[in-house]
Amino acid sequence: MKSKSKLKIRLRWFLSKFGPIILLFQRTPLNHVLVHEARIIGTSSITQVVGWSVATITGLGAFDSVAGATTLSQIAPAKGSTTVPAKSGEILNFIVQVTGAPSRAKSWQVIGKLPTGLRHQNATNSNTNAITGIPSESGNFRVTVKAWEEKNFRGGSKSKAFTIAVAPGSKPPAIKGQPESASVIAGDTATLRVGATGSSPTFQWYIGAGGDTSNPIPGATASTYVTPALQATTSYWVRVSNAIGTANSSAATVSVTDTFSSWKAHHFDTPQTADPLISGPSQDPDGDGIINEDEFILGRSPLSADPYEGPSIVVDGDRVTISFTAVRAAGLGYSGLARRYALETSDSLSEGIWTAVPDHAEIVGADQDVSFDSALSPTIKGSDPVI
């Protein structure tokens, strides 16, 4: 295989922390050029396999001394073209090469404005050069790439103009609907949601004012976040991001409603509200035997000693009938609440062990009449309504 017309093909891998690069080249005097030039591309975040094909040296005199002898051309991503196709938000490896020169270019120059996100690799002593990075702006950018015979842009040179055509790509995320503030009862949870447009958005929720990243919520990385059971008003906000940018939403406040306090403020004047001996939950200012907290549960006035009739109990022979009206929870202090009633039975009043009556353990008040009939034994108890 000594015939010069049949050139052997060699495949070599160059490994770097950025991943493998495959160089396919002929066994010619140019093979040492490729070994050297792997460093150029290895400095950028290349995630693709780059194939290089290299022409043989023709030995046509000095650098650029013979018209048409030395050629500068694009070999990636559009081989032979003066247009460099690119996309905003995606990696670009624009590689140019000088062929037909008996010696390597000692310096390279790029004249013109590069799109934001791209940089000139600025090769030295190499016949291959690159412009790499992730462009973040779209448009047409005309640049001239120049290879010089000597260092510091001296001696003969070869240049060519290229247009880096950056098409619009994936856009930074945009918030679609802010998370809404919510009001919950102490101990309850709230669900916060936010939408986003853009490519592959990711979410991170935080506790605190909008923009405060000091308290991220572990694992809260979806567009929906369910708060824990709350005891105090809490502010949340979410950051949405992708590979190109970040969009911050405004904060959403989950306020915890102390319903007894709202009810108390409606029924007592300012001095009474401020006096826990009058408006405290265990006080009975109207003297009717029902403390304020139970007045709240029953939906009664804490300052009017109205008799509480309770359920109707009718005994007829060996049977008993219990009936009452399941009053709905309505008015100030009852927003979002429901009044619930239950019937329980016990075999022994002294032991105080009560069990729920089937189908009567969770009666939600809606101003409906409720009636239950049973034998006298076991004893039947009608419980106070609970909220």
Per-domain residue ranges of the chain: 9-167, 174-257, 261-382
pLDDT in tens, 227-272: 998 878 899 999 998 877 788 888 899 988 767 877 888 889 999 9
Token digits for 214?
């000091």
Spatial distance between the Cα atoms of 322 and 357, rounded to a whole number of angstroms:
12
- Answer yes or no: is pLDDT of 156 > 50: yes
DSSP symbols for 290-339: --HHHHHHHT--TTS-------EEEEETTEEEEEEEE----STT-TT---
Q: What is the side-by-side strand order in the sheet with 107-111?
A: 83-87, 154-167, 139-150, 107-111
Q: What is the pLDDT of residue 352?
A: 66
**Cα–chain center distance at 236:** 13
Summarize the confidence of residues 94-100 as an average pLDDT: 90
pLDDT in tens, 58-71: 222 334 433 346 88
Q: What is the pLDDT of residue 69?
A: 66
pLDDT in tens, 34-45: 333 333 333 333
pLDDT in tens, 5-60: 333 333 333 333 333 333 333 333 333 333 333 333 333 333 332 333 222 222 22
Residue carrying structure tokens 């969770």? 362
Class of domain 174-257: mainly beta
Q: Which one, of 114, 21, 28, lies nearest residue 76 by Cα? A: 21
| 63, 65, 68, 73 alpha-carbon torsion, rounded to 10° | 20
Same fold, 9-167 and 174-257: yes
| CATH code for residues 9-167 | 2.60.40.10
Give CB contacts under 8 A, 24+ apart, made by 220-225. Answer: 223/193, 223/194, 223/195, 223/196, 224/191, 224/192, 224/193, 225/179, 225/191, 225/192, 225/193
Q: Which one, of 136, 135, 230, lies nearest residue 185 by Cα? A: 230
Q: Residue 356 — pLDDT band, cuts 50, 70, 90?
A: confident
CB-CB contact of 145 with 108 (8 Å): yes
| pTM of the entire predicted model | 0.38
